[in-house]
């Protein structure tokens, strides 16, 4: 027995048991700086999310060592940079 219901089971999945509202989302990809694109969509009064490829061990990633990946850019462009740098003084 593998622990999964077989094809003859009367198991109803969560997706089948609840009516899901019909929602639509638009995903937009742009070769640009993260916060510039976020500001563009916010200025159009659109709900906006920014995905940060964050380092779970070191907040701000390698920003204090001069690293230049997406997380470090976001840290430099925000007040997070001030918090990180004062923590190490």
Whole-number Å distance between alpha carbons of 41 and 43: 5
pLDDT at 89: 43
Q: Is the pLDDT score of 1 beyond 70?
A: no
Tell whether the model's pLDDT for residue 74 goes beyond 70: yes
Over the Cα atoms of the chain, what is R_g? 21
pLDDT in tens, 12-27: 555 555 666 777 877 7
pLDDT at 81: 55
* Average pLDDT over every residue of 56-68: 82
The reported pLDDT for the residue numbered 40 is: 87
pLDDT at 52: 78
> What is the C-alpha to C-alpha distance for residues 45 and 67, in angstroms, rounded to an integer?
33
**Hey, how many other C-beta atoms are within 10 angstroms of the C-beta on 59?**
14
Q: Would you state the structure tokens that stand for residue 77, as one six-digit string?
A: 């462009």
* Higher per-residue confidence, 1 vs 64: 64
Please answer whether residues 34 and 73 qualify as being in contact, where contact means their C-beta atoms are separated by less than 8 angstroms: yes
In whole angstroms, give the CA distance from residue 71 to residue 60: 6
């Amino acid at each position: 027995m593998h622990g999964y219901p077989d094809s003859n089971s009367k198991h109803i999945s969560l997706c089948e048991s609840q009516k899901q509202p019909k929602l639509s989302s638009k995903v937009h990809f742009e070769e640009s700086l993260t916060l510039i694109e976020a500001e563009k969509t916010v200025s159009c009064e659109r709900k906006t999310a920014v995905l940060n490829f964050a380092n779970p061990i070191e907040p701000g990633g390698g920003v204090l060592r001069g690293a230049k990946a997406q997380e470090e850019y976001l840290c430099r462009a925000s007040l997070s940079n001030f918090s990180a740098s004062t923590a190490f003084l």
